[in-house]
Chains A and B, each alone.
Chain A
Amino acid sequence: MPNLKDLKNRIESVKSTRKITKAMQMVAAAKLRRAQEAAEAGRPYAERMNAVMANLSAAAAGSDSAPKLLAGSGDDKVHLLVVATAERGLCGGFNSSIVKLARAKAEELISVGKTVKILTVGKKGREQMKRDFSDLMIDHVDLSEVKKVGYVNAHTIATDIVNRFNAGEFDVATIFFNKFVSVINQVPTAQQLIPASFDADENAETPFYEYEPSEEEILTDLLPRALSTQVFTALLENGASEQGARMSAMDNATRNAGEMIDKLTIVYNRSRQAAITNELIEIISGAEAL
């Protein structure tokens, strides 16, 4: 029989945990709204960019002069995996699901004899990837000081990737992030960055454009920007997913804490009752003995 004081302390501690998780849930809800707004604000740009790039790259794909970012280096020996995760934990399976996907991909590539390099964005991903692939990690981007992920951050990451590609450090780059579907559903996604791939919208009607300067020059100019945009979209999706995942994780935690408090309270009341009954029996049997 646990004593009453211990039980009482236990209940108090679970209550304060519940307060914390409740607060975190509300903070996440507020942040989620902002992250969703940011993701929505970025969508028109990303969509137009994607449509134009799909159009341009389809035209350039066949020619020999296609830029390397689009055509690739002609090899696929060295793969760069960009693992974008959150800077913080306590958001359910958010970080693990990205890492799990990236790890599966890395193992698959290694098993067929490819070289894998890993670039991590976000502290949590680095910690988890380090366990298995510490010798493959080439760099880490720290966004913990960044309050609101901006295009600048994505641009820096994309420029770094492009520079490494131009230096011949890798042949194929893929970014891993969580796509935001709803608060309770985020899909870990792998998207190929280099060679660049754009999903063409089949229904989109494209007028016959006049290009200035030439199509190739426009393509060369826009490819790095399109890459930055893809990274930016990934970061925004990740941001919204993280808050969504945290919100539902904290909601669960709050509910579990509530259940635990109820159970503990029942145990507490029962033991209190038992103690009182015990005392009464002692008094009565004492009186009878006289």
Chain B
Amino acid sequence: MATIQFDLVSPERKLASLDANEIQIPGADGDFTAMADHAPFLTTLRPGVLRVKAGNDVTEYVVTGGFVEISGTAASVLAENAMPKGEVTREIIDGLVAEAAAAAETAPSEEIDMANKRVADTKALLDII
């Protein structure tokens, strides 16, 4: 089965770089799955869970804001915050929620919807851990 080169980087480190069969990505306008020969695609991320399937291994990461760049052979995820799901604790998510809420309060009026959506998405992360 054809594979796609997958990279997950945060500003501080490279979390993963491997050949994956498929990657489920929480895009800003909805989740999608990237597989080999996906059309060139660029989208922003919403806070959510990213699943990477390589062979029979499934790895899950919690990601918040950033973007995904997909070409036919490679998918690069640049997430502002990214960590393996196992490392995520309630405190971390609480921190992210607080940060999102603070950003929503100071957001200019035309961006308020976006900011509120971010708060909601971040809160939804609490359910998955």
- Is A212 in contact with B9, judged by CB distance below 8 angstroms? no
B39 in contact (CB, < 8 A): yes
User: How many interface residues does B have (CB within 8 Å)?
Assistant: 30
Q: How far is the CA of A145 from the CA of B56 in the complex (A)?
A: 45
Which of B9, B28, B29 touches A45 (beta carbons < 8 Å)? B9
Q: How far is the CA of A44 from the CA of B108 in the complex (A)?
A: 31
Given A52-B67, A151-B80, A222-B67; A209-B12 close (CB under 8 Å): no
State the majority secondary structure of interface residues on A. helix
A-B contact count (CB 8 A): 78
Which of A46, A49, A159, A210 touches B40 (beta carbons < 8 Å)? A210
Which of B27, B29, B40, B106 touches A209 (beta carbons < 8 Å)? B40
- In this complex, what residue of B is CB-closest to A222? B67
A243 in contact (CB, < 8 A): no
CB distance from A30 to the nearest CB of B (A): 20
Q: How far is the CA of A225 from the CA of B44 in the complex (A)?
A: 11
- Is A48 in contact with B78, judged by CB distance below 8 angstroms? yes
Given A48-B76, A49-B78, A151-B10; A225-B65 close (CB under 8 Å): yes
CB distance from A264 to the nearest CB of B (A): 48
> Can you list 21 A-B contacts with CB-CB less than 8 angstroms, sorted by A residue number?
A45-B9, A45-B78, A48-B9, A48-B69, A48-B78, A49-B78, A52-B42, A151-B11, A154-B11, A207-B40, A209-B41, A210-B39, A211-B41, A211-B43, A212-B41, A212-B42, A218-B67, A220-B111, A221-B114, A222-B44, A225-B80
